[in-house]
Amino acid sequence: MDLPFDDNFYMKKALQEAEIAFEKGEVPIGAVIVVDNRIIARAHNLTEQLTDVTAHAEMQAITAAANFLGGKYLQNCTMYVTLEPCQMCAGALYWSQISKIVYAAEDAQRGYNAMGTKLHPKTKVVGGVLEKEASDLLKRFFIERRNLN
């Protein structure tokens, strides 16, 4: 069966979530989780709004997807996220046994690769999908934050 949508389509949906975070004053990171060509979870960073350091887009999406599926494992699911997951989110994704992670921009300082964190051995990873768009949004956010202070 041919897939009607590609990685760019779903990453654009994650970027829409990142834009919502941006408008709320949150670090603009968004995520969606897809199973069988259907988005089952949409999320963005909520760390400021919830005053919770664990309220990353990925963590919110994992919880929403698990609730939708009625179980803790995200096998046969793909997460699209606008920034490479951090060590904490990579650990949660490991335990969720998610099948695939597609991220836009690399996080050379705090990403799971830089920290040496391992994902589940069966999890496939693709990086660099709409990287420029995600990077530009993050840069714009931090430039605006610096100019406010």
In a domain, 1, yes or no: no
pLDDT tens profile 110-141: 999 999 999 999 999 999 999 999 999 999 99
In a domain, 146, yes or no: no
CATH value at residue 101: 3.40.140.10
| Complete DSSP assignment for 80-144 | EEEE--BHHHHHHHHHHT-SEEEEEE--TTTBHHHHTPPPPTT-EEEE-TTHHHHHHHHHHHHHH
In a domain, 26, yes or no: yes
Q: Of 23, 26, 48, 58, which one is the catalytic site residue?
A: 58
In a domain, 133, yes or no: yes
pLDDT band at 1 (very low <50, low <70, confident <90, very high): very low
In a domain, 149, yes or no: no
* Total domains, the chain: 1
In a domain, 147, yes or no: no
Report pLDDT for 147.
78
In a domain, 77, yes or no: yes
CA of 114: how far to CAs of 11, 104, 111, in Å? 22, 16, 5
Tell me the residue type at 78: T
Binding-site sequence positions: 56, 86, 89
At 13, list the tokens: 């949906």
pLDDT band at 4 (very low <50, low <70, confident <90, very high): low
pLDDT tens profile 81-111: 999 999 999 999 999 999 999 999 999 999 9
At 53, list the tokens: 């350091």
Cβ neighbors of 11 (< 8 A, separation 6 or more) are 80, 82, 102, 104, 129, 130, 134
What Rg do the C-alpha atoms of the chain give, in angstroms? 14
Please confirm, yes or no, whether 26 is among the known catalytic residues: no
Backbone angles phi, psi at 29, to 5 degrees: -125, 130
Binding-site sequence positions for Zn(2+): 56, 86, 89
| Residue 46 domain boundaries | 7-141
pLDDT tens profile 37-68: 999 999 999 999 999 999 999 999 999 999 99
In a domain, 148, yes or no: no
